[in-house]
């Protein structure tokens, strides 16, 4: 899906060669500040490399409209945006911005279940905890149904038990729907458990790569 060739971004990240496959789970791990988030931002065309080339389905990113790319490969940051209003309004916001039809309340409830968020659609989103807001934003992204999900520490604000439950549910959803997941995670154990490909980035350089890491595949 994504191919990187001799990519450099300032003194923050350097990747000589990397192929991120479609229909698989790729986990990115490494020390804090090592360049993991920068890699996701490059894939989503939020920033551009100083040198080298990134291709999406074989097409160089400069040739792809940024809005169209982000609809196909949607990104969730560590601190996602939560809008004033209810849980329902927040879930529907992404569909509205993307000019897609609104989802039914049943579809919204199913999404809340998928992201392990036990809240009512009428609850006020701004009153949720940090971890609940994180899951709400993830649900909003799932409703967009992109080809690929680019997730930056989607469970960083969760306790260990909820994190395992969420990532396990998300993993099985990705596998069942044939989507692609590229996820930055702080947990090497979870990366090895769920990742078909595990990429290790430290000090701005890719220093490790493990394929078919997931024992469940």
Number of separate helices (H) and strands (E) present in the chain: 7, 10
> For the chain, which ranges sit under pLDDT 70?
213-217
Q: Whole-number mean pLDDT of the chain?
A: 94
Which of 82, 196, 70 has the alpha carbon at shortest distance from 138?
Answer: 82
Going from the N-terminus, what domains does the chain have, and what CATH number goes with each?
A: 2-211 (3.40.50.300)
Residue 186: per-residue pLDDT: 86
Spell out a b/e string for 162-200, using b for 16 or more CB atoms within 10 Å of the CB, else e. Answer: bbbebbeebbeebbeeebbbbbbbebeebbebbbbbbbb
Q: What would the pLDDT profile of 134-158 be if each residue is shown by its tens digit?
A: 999 999 999 999 999 999 999 888 8
Which residues, in sequence order, are CB contacts of 34 under 8 Å at separation 6+? 201, 202, 203, 204
């Amino acid at each position: 899906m994504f191919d990187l060739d001799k990519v450099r971004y300032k003194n923050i990240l350097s990747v000589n060669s990397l192929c991120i496959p479609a229909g698989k789970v790729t986990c990115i791990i490494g020390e804090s500040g090592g360049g993991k988030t920068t890699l996701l931002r490059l894939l989503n065309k939020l920033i551009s490399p100083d040198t080298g080339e990134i291709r999406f389905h074989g097409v160089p990113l400069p040739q792809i409209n940024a809005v169209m790319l982000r609809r196909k490969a949607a990104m969730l940051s560590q601190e996602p945006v939560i809008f004033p209003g209810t849980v329902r309004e927040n879930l529907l916001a992404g569909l509205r911005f993307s000019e897609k039809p609104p989802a039914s309340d049943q579809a919204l409830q199913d999404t809340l279940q998928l992201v392990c968020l036990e809240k009512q659609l009428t609850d006020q989103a701004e009153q949720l905890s940090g971890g609940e807001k994180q899951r709400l934003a993830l649900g909003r992204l799932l409703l967009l149904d992109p080809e690929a999900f680019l997730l930056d520490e989607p469970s960083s604000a969760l306790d260990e038990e909820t994190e395992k439950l969420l990532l396990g549910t998300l993993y099985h959803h990705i596998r069942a729907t044939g989507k692609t997941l590229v996820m930055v995670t702080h947990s090497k154990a979870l990366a090895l458990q769920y990742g078909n490909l595990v990429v290790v980035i430290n000090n701005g350089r890719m220093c490790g790569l493990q394929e078919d890491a997931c024992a469940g595949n």
